[in-house]
């Protein structure tokens, strides 16, 4: 048997307030609650959610210290289509969620926004032509790093 990876099972995000983050992720990303996890003291400090249309889950785990350490982090990117990025811009605008602009990234186009704890979420639309132009034959990204998405409560440019 070969030792191979077959996909992504889940992404875990550390949050400072589980209920606030649950509400935000359900409202903004359309996640659907799957399971709650109690600690030994009987308090629910973790939840998993299905991601409609995707073959992985997103888990939220309450730990204020770790959530603060990840402020302005970019721990993961969710894949969308190029047209989907425009739809997400409209959705986030409709929900009043601040976000950065759609930009040309190393292997496509991307856009970022932050959750209530300031953890940056990237939406990424792969594009082989962009990837070839940005990386070239040497396999090294030649572009500039994008600006982080605005933190909650900050105005967009």
How far is residue 111's CA from residue 88's CA, in Å, rounded to a whole number? 9
- Domains of the chain from N-terminus onward: 1-69 (3.10.180.10), 71-150 (3.10.180.10)
At 35 the pLDDT is: 92
Provide the pLDDT for residue 157.
33
Q: How far is CA 88 from CA 28, 53, 142, in A?
A: 10, 15, 27
SS3 57: strand
Nearest by Cα to 109 from 87, 83, 90: 83
Span 106-142, pLDDT tens digits: 778 889 999 999 888 889 888 877 766 766 655 555 5
Q: What is the pLDDT of residue 155?
A: 39
The tens digit of pLDDT for each residue in 22-36 reads 999 999 999 999 999
CA angle, 154 as apex, 79 and 62 as ends, to 5°? 60
User: For strand 120-126 and strand 108-114, is the pairing parallel, antiparallel, or unpaired?
Assistant: antiparallel
Q: What is the pTM of this model?
A: 0.76
């Amino acid at each position: 048997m070969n030792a191979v990876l077959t996909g992504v099972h889940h992404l875990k995000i550390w949050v400072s307030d589980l209920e606030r983050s649950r509400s935000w992720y359900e409202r903004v990303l359309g996640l659907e609650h799957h399971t709650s996890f109690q600690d030994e003291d009987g308090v629910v400090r973790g939840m998993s959610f299905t991601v409609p249309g995707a073959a992985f889950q997103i888990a939220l785990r309450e730990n204020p210290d770790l959530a603060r350490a990840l402020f302005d982090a970019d721990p993961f990117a969710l894949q969308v289509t190029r047209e989907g990025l425009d739809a997400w811009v409209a959705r986030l605008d409709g929900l009043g969620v601040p976000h950065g602009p759609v930009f040309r990234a190393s292997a496509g186009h991307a856009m970022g926004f932050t959750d209530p704890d300031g953890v940056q979420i990237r939406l990424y639309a792969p594009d082989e032509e962009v990837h070839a132009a940005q990386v070239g034959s040497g396999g090294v990204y030649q572009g500039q790093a994008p600006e982080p998405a605005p933190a909650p409560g900050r105005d967009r440019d």
